[in-house]
Amino acid sequence: MTIANSTAELIGNTPLVKLNHIPAEEGVNATIAVKIEYMNPGGSSKDRIAARIIDAAERSGELKPGGVIVEPTSGNTGVGLAMVAQQRGYRTIFTLPDKVSESKRAVLRAYGAEVVVTPTDAGPDDPRSYYQVAERLAKSIPGGFRPNQYDNPNGPASHYATTGPEIWEATDGKVTHFVAGIGTGGTISGTGKYLKEASDGRVVVVGSDPEGSIYSAPSLADVHQYDIEGVGEDFYPKAYDRSIPDEIVKANDAEAFEMTRRLAAEEALLVGGSSGMAVVSAIKYAKEHDLGADQLVVVLAPDSGRSYLEKIFNDDWMRANGYGDIVERTTRPSLAE
Ligand code: PMP
């Protein structure tokens, strides 16, 4: 029987697909393959960390029957936690700033999560901020548990246990480079550690980072806002092991969004902005290091473009945010024109 007992059993074992057009157009000879994490049941790589964080908290006794999971998250981690928690009978409460779109709140509620909306303009030290509200709720609600994805070692451990071995096996150990965006740092730290160990240090690990984020900023004065979601930080989380990436290649919002649209239009891969960013970094690295046709670069694509239809794939939003030239470059003239 190949019927899964619950959606949690379907997490992982995501497929790899080769890019057939973009590398050639960019003058890249190496093979670039994308690991499609939107094939996870909750739609992102974050399903992996949710399952492991909940398993570990059950074992350690931090999460007991009837417990309540409280986390400040607006995105993929919330979906993963809500999905796994629901099946095991835990309540989930997510705090998120009011800038988060109604459709993202609706997804969390659909899985049965409770959503507490906080003012976006409240900084991390403000008692009304989504971090502080989550802290208070987790402490005051009996059975409250804060997964804290930025500090939780089970984030990187989940990628060490699953994502790394999957890539190694799917490529028969022929992977030469691994490229991933850095948010909490869990993906690159866990997957990169596994691939380096499996290959006796041969696999090169490349971090991809939005321009303005701390991981690639020359100094703190260069840390600034950017539009790509889910990646980059303004502090160093514990989930990130700085010794793992061999190099960090940054990409700016415009480069990432243009590539995200090209992946959909040219490779039939509807992925999110952080996936486009990682492909940009992979191409920059391959060009800079003149990678030959015998090199196999695996790029992790964390989530689906469906979560960004109102932004990256919406021409009006793109134009209103100064990306109009990208719309012109990536939109085919309709038959009528
Ligand atoms: N892309 C997206 C869309 C994400 O939600 C995340 C997780 N924050 C990442 C990339 C980065 O993954 P990680 O936190 O493991 O570094």
Tens-digit pLDDT profile for residues 148-172? 999 999 999 999 999 999 999 999 9
Same domain flag for 185 and 284: yes
Catalytic annotation on 193?
Answer: no
Same domain flag for 75 and 189: no
Question: What count of residues does the chain have?
Answer: 337
Instruction: Flag whether pLDDT at 330 surpasses 60.
Output: yes
Q: Is residue 47 part of a domain?
A: no
Confidence of residue 234 (pLDDT cuts 50, 70, 90): confident
- Tell me the average pLDDT across 277-283: 98
Instruction: Flag whether pLDDT at 124 surpasses 90.
Output: no
Residue 117's CATH number: 3.40.50.1100
Confidence of residue 335 (pLDDT cuts 50, 70, 90): low
Last residue of one domain, picked from the residues 112, 141, 170: 141
Same domain flag for 224 and 137: no
The closest residue, in CA terms, to atom 2 on ligand 1 is: 230
CB 47 within 8 A of CB 41: yes
238-268 residue pLDDT tens: 999 999 999 999 999 999 999 999 999 999 9
Instruction: Flag whether pLDDT at 336 surpasses 70.
Output: no
Q: Is residue 151 part of a domain?
A: no
Residue 103: the pLDDT is: 84
Q: Is residue 270 part of a domain?
A: yes
Pick the catalytic residue from 35, 46, 104, 250. Answer: 46
Same domain flag for 95 and 238: no
Same domain flag for 136 and 227: no
Q: Is residue 335 part of a domain?
A: no
Any ligand 1 atom below 6 A from CB of 78? no
12-23 residue pLDDT tens: 999 999 999 999
Same domain flag for 117 and 248: no
- Tell me the average pLDDT across 199-221: 96
Q: What total number of domains does the chain contain? A: 2
The question of ipTM being above 0.95 is answered as: yes
Query: pTM of the prediction?
Result: 0.96
Cα distance between residue 284 and residue 281, in whole Å: 5
Q: Is residue 51 part of a domain?
A: no
Any ligand 1 atom below 6 A from CB of 213? no
Cα distance between residue 17 and residue 34, in whole Å: 5
Same domain flag for 68 and 33: no
Instruction: Calculate how far, in angstroms, residue 302's C-alpha sits from the geometric centre of ligand 1.
Output: 6
Instruction: Calculate how far, in angstroms, residue 332's C-alpha sits from the geometric centre of ligand 1.
Output: 30
User: Which runs of consecutive H residues, i.e. helices, occur in the chain?
Assistant: 22-25, 46-60, 76-88, 102-110, 130-140, 154-158, 164-170, 186-198, 253-267, 273-288, 315-320, 324-330
Instruction: Flag whether pLDDT at 99 surpasses 80.
Output: no
Determine the structural domain holding residue 72 and report its residue range. Answer: 64-141
